[in-house]
Amino acid sequence: MRGDLGMVACRTIGKKALFHSPSSTSVMHTIPILGPNLPDVWAHNNTYPTPTPSSSSSTGQTAAVLDCKSIAKDIRTQIAAHVCKLKAAVGTSPGLAVVLVGERRDSHTFIRIKLKACHQVGISTFVRQLPQHCTEDELLGVISSFNDDPSVHGIIVQLPLPQHLDEERIINFVSPEKDVDGFHPLNMGNLAMRGREPLFIPCAPRGCIELLLRFGIEITGKKAVVIGRSKIAGLPTSLLLQRHHATVSTVHSFTKNPKQITCEADIVVSDVGIPNIVRGDWLKPGAVVIDMGTNLVENPCSRHGSSVTGDVCYEEAIKVVSAITPVPGGVGPVTISMLLSNTLDSAKRAFRFN
């Protein structure tokens, strides 16, 4: 029925007919009710140049750089202690299953980091690697076996998947009770609906809020702008900030005046994936900035010829804002800690262990 009902002519009572009145005959409105499926294409390269490097000490830094690494470490230490207690009580460690399809180098790197973190805190891991050209049924079969395996408490399917696989179908197939990435629509729906508690919150958004809470940054009543609206980061971060009673505006590639909206925010979260898109003059003096961007940029000074940078022009931002997360060493390590925490949560639920 969506979009297949005719459009009637606009009948106005007021003096002016401001909207088009196609004709007296019904015509279809052509835009689907869920919105046109347009890709988010941000203008970059030309628009967001890298600033000339300068040392922050000589340029009037005022921002507190949030020490996320120590937060991440602290959380992991506590998770390790909880894992020990759980193992002592029930004789089993929490188990995380990792499904990896294909040979993407970045995916392999992310998985390596996640596995290492699991091992550090005593979480067991089960890795299943599938070839790039595996069938959807093969992948679903692997997930099914992990869904049924009582030693597995969390399942992550590393994204992105190869194009021939239906990501939505795959994600939906992960048991919501083991969806430690928080990407299942049932968990996302319960995150969106105030008063409800999803079984899992996506790791990066949960990390973002953990940082704000742990650094004592007030969220309630604050103006927050989330730049970017990805399913895994921007969208759930907006939902979480709203659950903390911030007034949230979501900026995306169709936003006509992102700078104007962003520079009114007390809290700015960026999840775009374009280095330096958020410049110093986009930020209100004293704002708090959480940079979720992880962008690989060329860097001839680096050993590998490249380095990782965030979405925010750090050198400009630190002169304006009151606090900022660095990249690397910011939200990233906390996100991994949240994955460990979600896995531990799941195991505790499975064993009814408090």
Which residues participate in catalysis according to the annotation? 114, 158, 181
Question: Of 98 and 241, which has the nearer Cβ to a copy of itself?
Answer: 241
- Closest distance to a copy of itself from the beta carbon of 191 (Å): 8
- Closest distance to a copy of itself from the beta carbon of 50 (Å): 22
Q: Is there a contact between 139 and 100 (Cβ–Cβ < 8 Å)?
A: no
R_g of the chain, CA atoms, integer Å: 23
- The contacts of residue 296 (CB under 8 Å, 6+ apart) are 306, 307, 308
- Closest distance to a copy of itself from the beta carbon of 280 (Å): 15
- Closest distance to a copy of itself from the beta carbon of 310 (Å): 16
Q: d(Cα 254, Cα 43) in Å, to the nearest integer? A: 11
Tokens of 179: 């969806």
- What is the DSSP annotation of 75-118? HHHHHHHHHHHHHHHHS---EEEEEEES--HHHHHHHHHHHHHH
Q: Is there a contact between 124 and 346 (Cβ–Cβ < 8 Å)?
A: no
Question: Of 130 and 311, which has the nearer Cβ to a copy of itself?
Answer: 311
Q: Is there a contact between 79 and 106 (Cβ–Cβ < 8 Å)?
A: no
Question: Of 130 and 178, which has the nearer Cβ to a copy of itself?
Answer: 178
Q: Is there a contact between 337 and 208 (Cβ–Cβ < 8 Å)?
A: no
Q: d(Cα 30, Cα 92) in Å, to the nearest integer? A: 56
Side chain identity at 247, as an amino acid letter?
A: T
Question: Of 130 and 206, which has the nearer Cβ to a copy of itself?
Answer: 206
Question: Of 202 and 293, which has the nearer Cβ to a copy of itself?
Answer: 202
- Closest distance to a copy of itself from the beta carbon of 322 (Å): 5
